[in-house]
Structure 1
């Protein structure tokens, strides 16, 4: 039975081959006939001869086909008798499988066609109705393509697509691919554009106003003509694409500027606060306090930075703002109470700037006034805030010198007078020219470096002489020897030569000093004893 089927299949293949050959000959004959209209009569005669031969061949093939058909029918008829029901079912199953395979191939082919269409990019040189929509959308987004908006995807379209892709940070291909289409769609459906309402519009308007771009109105959730106009102004100022849409690039710029350090050229509402604070601290910016950070603001910021020993760049960065806030929050300013104010008042009094009152912890008008006087005298910023502690501490411990006012200048003058170097005047806290002159005399007399400054060595020497046991009112065994020495030199001290250094001893010592042209202080110091 299997051999019969094979025989049938071979004959069917032969018949098919014959039909193909007949078709080829027939097609050739038609072609030759069409071309024969322009050929010569001799060529027509050859065609007719060929046609006769073809007809003879066709008759032979037809005769062979008939024989094959008869043979096929005989075989089928013979096999039909032998073919069982089981074989018929097998054949039917095979035929069904072939049909299923054919359907699967057809479905796969259709799917591939769909996928191919979906992934098909528009590129330079293409014509497609989608190009019209693309151009229209690009124009809305601020990337207009020159021309009449035709279906042609040309050089200008590619150029604008590239600009769009670059601007929004997607791969720059110059083609309309799926990612580019999606990005265009996302921007076009944003609620932050003209004609739409959204709660985010309220915050957007607040942010724009903070950055110096107020939108007229009450700050509603409507994104109208005014909002679009202001957005375009903002975009233009910051070199963005002017599409009037609060797209991702615009929002990112707004976010950046909200937190950026204030610098020259910026407009922001907190520039007003900066100017107010600088004025409080003694660095007033000329003008009416607008939101513009201009040259004058930068100059004052630089002055502030230099004064407080910050890096000087003219930018109100975090370190500068923190310093401003630190000074402004000092408890040592008008209207506040703090225990440090008590010590401040003591220090100011020591430096010759007494605050009227009882030295309480209240920092009032009088304290502010005295602080400003102190700041002016020492060429500091006159803001009346007690953040001059560094200067106060410096002056408290600094050597006394010409031009200074300090309470211990009074003590210095008293001590110099005791030692025979009397400073003219009423003994004020001013270390003036007369004080400096007497200090120089003292230094010279006791063989110290002469600079007119009451530094540590000078003060120590003054204290050393003042603490000598050989002076009025003290007792010391050295006084006994002093009296003997004075008597030996012709300056006897009345009495029994006791350890007491009294009035008589002081008087005789002064006589001795005057006779030998020494400072007449009545103290038995080394200079007196050496002579």
Structure 2
């Protein structure tokens, strides 16, 4: 009996060895030989069983069982090794069929023989299953497809074998898949391919790459999936996100705090275009890449779709005449530098986030051609009041409005862009609401009237009230000197008045104000001049004498300080024909000094 079983087992071992060595032996021949040997073994087995005692059978069977198990284990190990060396499924199926044929041919009536045969079949089947599982895992690693894992699942790694709850693995895989780390079978098994995906996730987000679902990995996963920068969420920084995307050519979104489906689409497009995981969530790598590109792409020599939008916006704001394309050239740099200088930014010619934010701000609050807004009405009314009118007073900002705004800007020393930006509107409001216009009262109106009077625009009451005659005198002065005759003493009017006082009263000039100057000097004892508009040498001499007498700097030029003192003394209340309370004290002082009997 032992010899018969040994022969069967040896035959099986020979088949396995032949398969491992890849010996080209006809399988049909091996199967035929095996079948004949098994048949002979069965005949001999039946004859021997009839003459063998029951006791000897039990002892023999015990010994045979031990040997069979040892040999079967060796065969299984050999089969495992063979499987690792690419034993295919067909070989395992042949083994199974041979075992079945051996079982049917033996027709053993003995229980021990049946158990031995059953154990042999189980070992062979186990070898086949292990071979299939290992082959499946190898194919999974190669094809990055689904996994068929036989290891005991772990909550942290593929290597751990401790029995524990693995129900969390399924949602964990779903979350990884949501973020672009998928291709796994969605089940509770944490195998090698899952570990591989975890490692990729960790590397992508800058974590320690240990391929384990540790605390840091789980926390990072939760942080991303709970991000406020994903579809359906609202956050104030979504505005900045949309601006960054728009600046780089991913625009046409409503710039607000809502992260809608189109925002998600734009984020996904950006992520795909720049090699990021395109899950549509604006995660840290996405934010970093956006800021990196914005800070580097807008400079000479670069080409980028965002340059097109940049040029259009600059043109809208009055910094145009560029070719609208993706090229950031030298002239674009010049326009950017001009824009930056005009709005108090660092004039580098390279567009940074501050420059882009300023552009967005101006586009939002400025008025420019083609824009319709109720505030355009008040803008046109203000322009008309200060002398830039003849527009249709409505909400439309058209070509002629742009022309008037440009003229206003040029007149008041602003860059003539034709765009009513905050600087322009502020200046317009300053002029329109000036205290130096009809109906207003201001202490400096006295100085204004003095200046006008000294220059020949007098006969006003010198006080703080800006009346209609003061407005008339201002208009006359403005017309005579090429200013906008709006009757408002604006910055341009004040500047010219002061400039003329410091320059007109000197030798060689002619001005109507020289007539009044000579009259005042004559009143104060510095006369004998021809009373006309000519400021000649003798007038200069009289001015020098006046300056010396009253302790002023002697120049012969009737500057502001000289003229101011001249008019102050000449218009004193302490002169013939005037009345003043302090005249009483004056007379007493004169009497005490021997100049009495004067009243």
Q: TM tier, shorter chain? A: 0.3 to 0.5
Give the TM-score, by structure 2 length. Answer: 0.36
Give the TM-score, by structure 1 length. Answer: 0.40
